[in-house]
Amino acid sequence: MKQYIVLCSTILLGIVIYNMIMGPEDDSIVHIVEAVWAQGIAIRTNAP
């Protein structure tokens, strides 16, 4: 029974971490990295 609880909690933790990284909201890690990457490119492109 203890192993089943650990298995379920591990699966739930994996789902939560996946949603933090790949979530559809604007506060997901992928969206933040994409915005920073785009700003960096814009700064380097517009520099004289």
Say how far apart CA 40 and CA 26 lie, in whole Å. 18
32-42 mean pLDDT = 90
Our count of domains for the chain comes to 1
Q: Write out the residue range of the structural domain in which residue 32 sits.
A: 2-46
pLDDT band at 21 (very low <50, low <70, confident <90, very high): confident
CB 21 within 8 A of CB 30: yes
Whether residue 20 has pLDDT greater than 90:
no
Average pLDDT over residues 9-32: 88
pLDDT above 90 covers a percentage of the chain that reads 50
30 Cβ partners below 8 Å, 6+ apart?
Answer: 21, 22
Instruction: Name the residue with tokens 């969206």.
Output: 31
